Structure 1
Amino acid sequence: MIVIPAIDIMDGKAVRLKKGKKDTAVVYSENPLEIVDYFNDIGIDRIHIVDLDAAFSGGRKNNRELIRKLASRAKAFVEVGGGVRSLLDVEELLCCYVNKVVVGTMPVKNPGEFEKVAERFSDRIIAGVDVENGFVKISGWEENPHIDYIAFLLKMRDMGINEAIITDIKKDGMLEGIDFEFYKDIALKTDLEIIISGGVKDIADIKKAKKIEKYGIKGIIIGKAFYEKTISLEEALEVAG
């Protein structure tokens, strides 16, 4: 199981939100490049980067130049999401050190465009599925199109996407621990490689995630727990194997 620390970017800074709400942003670093250096030093294999400005603006505002610098600096595999709305967005990200792109809103808002993306880059796309009360939320979690999350994931699978990041919105940024039955159920119903996102509190969550790895859990994203120092990434790496 892969331990995947997150860097959420807003106005060029590393921040964390609570339940995805923009007005809850707390700045943890004025220079996210230093965070990448630390990840390099401890041997992180994969980094999750979110462009919050792009997510909230629908791509009109972004931190793409900084993300290119972060990705080029990283020794790890880099995945990037937030505000990816077109084939051009995907191409621009994949051209410059980014290994995979996380897409969530485009399949709902512009399915025709997403079909082009899936045809060309299915092996480099991760379905980003943010769930609240059984439904997918999009556009930086500001819209609820009333789409069942399992149905959405099955559609992604049928389009050739084999990996999905599932964010449990009610847990995100709350340091309350993870709902593991929720993730186990998704993995069993969809036959996708599932990455857990939202709610990691401490090393106990990594141990529990490891126990359900056999059902199709590929990795776990660690965000606020790292920045608030309620978890050690070094210990998480050891536990995850």
Structure 2
Amino acid sequence: MIIFPAIDLKEGQCVRLIEGRMDSATIYSRDPGSTARAWQEQGAEFIHVVDLDGAFAGQPRNRASIMQIVQSVSIPVQVGGGIRDMETIADLLNMGVNRVILGSAAILRPELVAEACRRYGDRVLVGIDARDGMVAIQGWGETVSKTAVDLAREVKQLGIKRVVFTDIRRDGKLSGPNLAATAELARASGLKVIASGGVASLDDIRAVKALEADGVEGAIMGKALYAGTVKLAEALAIARGEDATC
């Protein structure tokens, strides 16, 4: 299982939100590159980056910060937020980003998802963000009449192999991930799933790891790491199966 430390970018700074509300931002760092480097030094094998301004604007707004992150680490970086055309996908991948995550585009431009999969294969993911089981897009500001499971099945037909699943109600609240919905999504779609939203403790990491057989292959961690309630090294040990309590 992979642990993905998250770097959420707002106006070039590393922040955390609650339920995706921009007015709830807490600034944790003004230097995204050094933040990414610190996670790598603590053992991270992959970094998860979200361009929050881009998600709301519909096009990237933190390109310089993303480039800074990529240039600061030797581990792979995946990026989402406002990626809605092929030019942006190509730009990010050419910059050195390892994987791009399409969110709203999966609803608004499914043909883009299909074309991106044809060109770039499993370097393209879809982010499925759900509020009470229903998909939310446009920076989580709009809920559409489609369930997370239905969207997962649709993007699989377009060529997607892996999704990031976020329960919006849990995001940034340290309330624990929605394990039941995450497992259901993996089983119902047959896709590989990265869990996001609410991971708050080592027990949460153990619970997500227990879903590996269902197809859940990773967990994104944000606030718990920044607030210090979980040490990355301990989470990584659990993810590798080196948990002394098991």
Answer yes or no: same fold by TM over 0.5: yes
- 2:98 alignment partner AA: N
Partner of 2:244: none
Deviation (angstroms), 1:120: 1.2
Matched, 1:205 2:235: no
CA distance in 1, matches of 2:228, 2:15: 14
CA distance in 2, matches of 1:167, 1:47: 16
CA distance in 1, matches of 2:217, 2:110: 27
Are the counterparts in 2 of residues 72 and 96 from structure 1 also a CA contact under 8 Å? no
Q: State how 1:2-151 maps to structure 2 within 5 Å.
A: 2-59=2-59, 62-151=61-150
Secondary structure at the aligned position of 2:181 is classed as helix
- 2:62 alignment partner AA: N
Of 66-75 and 157-166, the range deviating more from structure 2: 66-75
Q: Deviations over 1:147-176 (max 9, x none)?
A: 121111011111111100000000000001
CA distance in 1, matches of 2:78, 2:181: 23
- 1:225 alignment partner AA: A
CA distance in 1, matches of 2:211, 2:106: 29
Secondary structure at the aligned position of 2:146 is classed as coil
Of 164-173 and 34-43, the range deviating more from structure 2: 34-43
Secondary structure at the aligned position of 1:36 is classed as helix
CA distance in 1, matches of 2:208, 2:107: 29
Partner of 1:182: 181
Deviation (angstroms), 1:123: 1.6
Partner of 1:195: 194
In structure 1, stretches of 5+ residues that fail to align are none
Are the counterparts in 2 of residues 53 and 63 from structure 1 also a CA contact under 8 Å? yes
- 2:207 alignment partner AA: K
Are the counterparts in 1 of residues 106 and 126 from structure 2 also a CA contact under 8 Å? no
Of 120-129 and 84-93, the range deviating more from structure 2: 120-129
Q: Deviations over 1:115-136 (max 9, x none)?
A: 3222212321111000112211
Structure 1 runs of 4+ with >4 Å offset:
none
CA distance in 2, matches of 1:208, 1:115: 33
Deviation (angstroms), 1:179: 2.1
CA distance in 1, matches of 2:122, 2:37: 28
CA distance in 2, matches of 1:163, 1:112: 17
Paired residues, what number? Answer: 240
CA distance in 1, matches of 2:102, 2:110: 12
Identity %: 36
- 1:85 alignment partner AA: R
Are the counterparts in 1 of residues 113 and 158 from structure 2 also a CA contact under 8 Å? no
Instruction: Normalising by structure 1, report the TM-score.
Output: 0.96
Matched, 1:223 2:222: yes
Partner of 2:156: 157
Instruction: Normalising by structure 2, report the TM-score.
Output: 0.94
Q: Deviations over 1:8-34 (max 9, x none)?
A: 000110000000011101100111112
- 2:114 alignment partner AA: E
Of 224-233 and 65-74, the range deviating more from structure 2: 65-74
